[in-house]
Structure 1
């Protein structure tokens, strides 16, 4: 058996032992069997693959709260009378999500789409709310702002090579153009 396979099996046995999925003496027996009686100092010092995966799941759960916060800010944005205050907080949250997405994308590629989408939706909500509040009788301003958001999504999709931003930008511009001219 290759060393890589042995290491994976030993890491799993260590994970089982740490989380008490098997009795300790079974884990010790299996570890001794797969290490062929060698000392386990370098093996025990190394974190288990399963433990690392579990830590990644915890980090994902921690960052998945961002869309919930974004939804709360969007609801506040459309229900509160202090539009500027909520709009500023929402814009800051959107920018924070976007900056966080770039830093997180380097470490964990599963979280970056979540933060990209959250920041895009927050920016869209702020844009719509500002247009509705300050230009209530001029629907053309809203269309232009929506086209600007779609253009931003399209450019971001091309620059960052994110397919769903590119597609949503193109589809959004088409839908707004068709609706505006028909």
Structure 2
């Protein structure tokens, strides 16, 4: 808690004590509670308060961490690939670890640390593949699989919906790569058959999560909407198909989605708002 707010609360508790608005033991308890919180926050090595007060330990530690990260990134290309992989996994794990530590106290900081760990995993993983000359479908698919599994797992355990969705999105990308390898030349109708049933399944999972795991409903609903337009994204971005007439198809699917969502609004709005 901010120092100024804490001082205001302590002054208010003192006012309650003098005016006998609360019993003495309650005032003692509240006063001890906020004093303990002040002591706890002052013990934090890196905090906004310690930075503002010019705590040299906080400043040196912060610049040391930043310098260490820049050192690793600068010499990353010189390391053998097992060490590159170990560094990537270690830095990502540290990001998720510190995110878990701050999860219930500083939610925004926790989300930023989890995002940093995810970007490190994807960025350094991609750099390692490029440096080792592994740029191919197999290496890319392995990286997508690892990132998707890690992000989905972290999103589940730490209750970050954005990471959950990113994990599912990478799963969709892996699915697209797999069928692109099996059927490199797929017609528009084949792509619809590959993706639209999944969109319906995820819409049904949204309903199921509403009764079983409510916090996943919005993620599953977003995944269902994404899958609805995946045939066109698959054809345009991954299979390099002609864009001629695609805008009419996308507009038609938007109209169909609008009609379906409007017709079922009394159901899915309840699902994602609960």
Q: For this structure pair, what is the TM-score category when the shorter chain's length is used for normalisation?
A: 0.5 to 0.7
- Mapped to 2, the partners of 1:78 and 1:181 lie a distance apart of 35
Q: 1:166 aligns with which of 164, 167, 186?
A: 164
The aligned residue for residue 126 of structure 1 is 124
Shift in alpha-carbon separation, 1:70–1:114, aligned structure 2, 3 A: farther
Aligned length: 154
The aligned residue for residue 96 of structure 2 is 98
Mapped pair 1:140 → 2:126: no
- Mapped to 2, the partners of 1:71 and 1:165 lie a distance apart of 28
SS in 1 for 2:19: helix
The aligned residue for residue 20 of structure 2 is 35
Deviations 1:36-86 (A, max 9, x none): 69868826851438x65x939x76648xx98xx579737853675424466
Give the deviation of 1:12 after TM superposition: 2.9
Q: Which has the higher contact order (CA 8 A, sep 6+)?
A: 1
SS in 2 for 1:35: coil
Q: 2:34 aligns with which of 21, 34, 48?
A: 48
Give the deviation of 1:147 after TM superposition: 1.9
- Mapped to 1, the partners of 2:76 and 2:23 lie a distance apart of 67
Structure 2 length as normaliser, TM-score? 0.40
**Alignment root-mean-square deviation, CA:** 4.6
- Mapped to 2, the partners of 1:174 and 1:94 lie a distance apart of 23
Shift in alpha-carbon separation, 1:99–1:38, aligned structure 2, 3 A: closer
Give unpaired runs (5+ residues) of structure 2. Answer: 1-5, 51-60, 177-233, 241-274
Shift in alpha-carbon separation, 1:81–1:158, aligned structure 2, 3 A: closer
**Conserved 8 A contact 1:77-1:87:** no
Shift in alpha-carbon separation, 1:37–1:168, aligned structure 2, 3 A: closer
